[in-house]
């Protein structure tokens, strides 16, 4: 390892997220390149990127500032977006990005959790732990990696959850504890007019419900969405103009919906949240939801399948052949 707070992991399993596909297409080039090399940003080209935002594996080296992780520990985590990813035999990450994996999980299961779990907690944890009443949430897009985790996290905190999903995903989402609105056979807007209002609407797929969400939220309810223009604006306009444009966009949206607490959600490394997620998994309140398992040689096939949509949970890569 190069830095005092670094941890080197032998990767046993990793998983694919939609952001991996988008990064292949250039998503985040300006913003992530700025974080990689701010001094040489103006003149540098976008460096090659190792993809993979989740891992589970065994610690093989640690920096001198790492005290609560030991050589040989089985760990899980998610690299920062601007650093090399986990589709590799080894990955080196900052201490913020890694903790001991859930004891009840295999490496395959553990690798399906970190990125979606950290994204969900970054998005809604503050709202969930402070909400008293009503504990009612609408999850838009409940069958993917983010959605399946969000349903379980909300249910673990006493929420009644309604989610939108397609017909063949209804059994999965129902088994996770959500009431389902099948958007293939029902009019979602019409169905939502017939239920009690929500304290939280979480958009897990980026459908941009900001125009109608106030109709289904209680006053001062929260609308949290993964559809943020920040990265796309910086890709299109450059870092400085893109960030300032995004701030302006957000201010306009807040002004247009003063009765709604709007939040743009992102993945955020946080080892305290990783530990909380591990406790929830080991207690049985959250279960890994895995759609498919691929060998390391079949990563291109896994990308192709995920890019077609319709995932039910996560696609996991068995990196070390365990």
Q: What is the pLDDT of residue 229?
A: 72
Q: Are residues 245 and 292 in the same domain?
A: no
Q: What is the pLDDT of residue 25?
A: 78
- Identify the domain containing residue 221 by its residue range: 117-264
Supply the mean pLDDT for the chain: 89
**Could you give the C-alpha distances from 287 to 117, 192, 279, in angstroms and in order?**
11, 28, 11
Rg (CA), the chain: 20
Is residue 230 a contact partner of residue 243, using CB atoms and an 8 Å limit?
Answer: yes
279 in any annotated domain? no
Q: Are residues 92 and 128 in the same domain?
A: no
> Any idea what the CATH number is for the domain that residue 80 is in?
3.90.180.10
Residue 176: alpha-carbon gap to chain centroid: 18
Q: Which two tokens stand for residue 188?
A: 């979602």
| Burial of 321 from C-beta contacts in 10 A (0-12 / 13-18 / 19+) | exposed
Checking if the pLDDT of 153 tops 60, the result is yes
Cα(2)–Cα(38) distance, integer angstroms: 19
Residue written as tokens 């504990």?
Answer: 135
Q: Are residues 237 and 131 in the same domain?
A: yes
Checking if the pLDDT of 122 tops 80, the result is yes
**Could you give the C-alpha distances from 229 to 38, 181, 263, 278, in angstroms and in order?**
22, 28, 12, 31
Q: Are residues 141 and 260 in the same domain?
A: yes
Q: What is the pLDDT of residue 45?
A: 43
Q: What is the pLDDT of residue 264?
A: 83
Torsion sign (Cα): 98, 103, 109, 112: negative
Q: Which residues neighbour 146 within 8 Å (Cβ) at sequence distance 6 or greater? A: 116, 119, 120, 204, 205, 226
Q: Are residues 16 and 82 in the same domain?
A: yes
For residue 111, which of 14, 12, 18 has the smallest C-alpha distance?
14
Q: Are residues 121 and 87 in the same domain?
A: no
Among 23-27, 152-156, 231-235, which range has the highest average pLDDT? 152-156
Checking if the pLDDT of 46 tops 70, the result is no
Checking if the pLDDT of 6 tops 60, the result is yes
Q: What is the pLDDT of residue 28?
A: 67
Q: Which two tokens stand for residue 128?
A: 């969930």
Cα(27)–Cα(33) distance, integer angstroms: 11
Q: What average pLDDT does range 222-245 have in this prediction?
A: 78
| Of the listed ranges 47-61, 85-99, 265-279, the one predicted with least confidence | 47-61
Q: What is the pLDDT of residues 13-43, one digit of tens each?
A: 999 998 888 888 777 666 666 665 554 444 4
DSSP state of 83: S
Looking at 248, 264, 280, the residue that finishes a domain is 264
pLDDT band at 167 (very low <50, low <70, confident <90, very high): very high
Q: What is the pLDDT of residues 171-219, one digit of tens each?
A: 999 999 999 999 999 999 899 999 999 999 999 987 777 678 889 999 9
Question: SS3 of 239, please?
Answer: helix
Residue 243: alpha-carbon gap to chain centroid: 21
Higher pLDDT, 265 or 227: 265
182 in any annotated domain? yes
> Any idea what the CATH number is for the domain that residue 230 is in?
3.40.50.720
User: Where would I find the H helices in the chain?
Assistant: 18-24, 29-36, 107-110, 114-130, 145-156, 170-175, 188-192, 230-237, 239-256, 271-282, 299-307
Higher pLDDT, 134 or 45: 134
The model's pTM: 0.90
Checking if the pLDDT of 256 tops 70, the result is no
Q: What is the pLDDT of residue 310?
A: 75
Higher pLDDT, 3 or 234: 3
Q: What is the pLDDT of residue 255?
A: 67
Q: Which two tokens stand for residue 7?
A: 């941890």
Q: Are residues 128 and 231 in the same domain?
A: yes
Checking if the pLDDT of 220 tops 50, the result is yes
Q: Are residues 90 and 130 in the same domain?
A: no
Express as a percent the part of the chain with pLDDT over 90. 66
Q: What is the pLDDT of residue 40?
A: 41
Q: What is the pLDDT of residues 64-73, one digit of tens each?
A: 999 999 999 9
Q: What is the pLDDT of residues 263-286, one digit of tens each?
A: 888 899 999 999 999 999 999 999
Q: What is the pLDDT of residue 44?
A: 42
Q: What is the pLDDT of residue 33?
A: 64
Number of domains in the chain: 2
């Amino acid at each position: 390892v190069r830095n005092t707070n670094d941890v080197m992991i032998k990767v046993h399993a990793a998983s694919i997220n939609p952001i991996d596909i988008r990064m292949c297409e250039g998503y985040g080039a300006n913003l992530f390149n700025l974080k990689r090399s701010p001094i040489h940003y103006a003149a540098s080209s976008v460096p090659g990127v190792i993809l993979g935002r989740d891992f589970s594996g065994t610690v093989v080296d640690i920096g001198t500032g790492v005290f609560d992780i030991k050589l040989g520990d089985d760990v899980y985590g998610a690299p920062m977006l601007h650093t090399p990813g986990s589709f590799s035999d080894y990955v080196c990450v900052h201490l913020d990005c890694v903790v001991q994996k859930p004891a009840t999980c295999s490496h395959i299961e553990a690798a399906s959790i970190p990125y979606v779990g950290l994204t969900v907690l970054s998005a809604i944890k503050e709202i969930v732990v402070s909400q008293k009443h009503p504990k009612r949430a609408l999850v838009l897009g409940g069958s993917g990696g983010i959605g399946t985790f969000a349903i379980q996290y909300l249910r673990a905190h006493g929420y009644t959850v309604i989610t939108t999903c397609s017909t063949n995903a209804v059994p999965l989402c129902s088994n996770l504890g959500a009431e389902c609105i099948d958007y293939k056979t029902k009019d979602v807007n019409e169905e939502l007019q017939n239920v009690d209002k929500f304290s939280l609407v979480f958009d897990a797929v980026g459908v941009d419900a900001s125009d109608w969400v106030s109709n289904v939220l209680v006053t001062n309810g929260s609308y949290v969405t993964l559809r943020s223009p920040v990265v796309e604006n910086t890709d299109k306009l450059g870092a400085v103009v893109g960030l300032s444009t995004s701030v302006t966009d957000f201010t306009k949206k807040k002004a247009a919906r003063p009765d709604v607490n709007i939040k743009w959600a992102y993945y955020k490394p946080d080892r305290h949240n990783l530990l909380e997620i591990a406790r929830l998994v080991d207690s049985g309140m959250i279960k890994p939801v895995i759609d498919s398992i691929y060998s390391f040689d079949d990563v291109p096939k896994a990308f192709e399948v995920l890019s077609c949509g319709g995932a039910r949970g996560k696609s996991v890569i068995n990196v070390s052949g365990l």
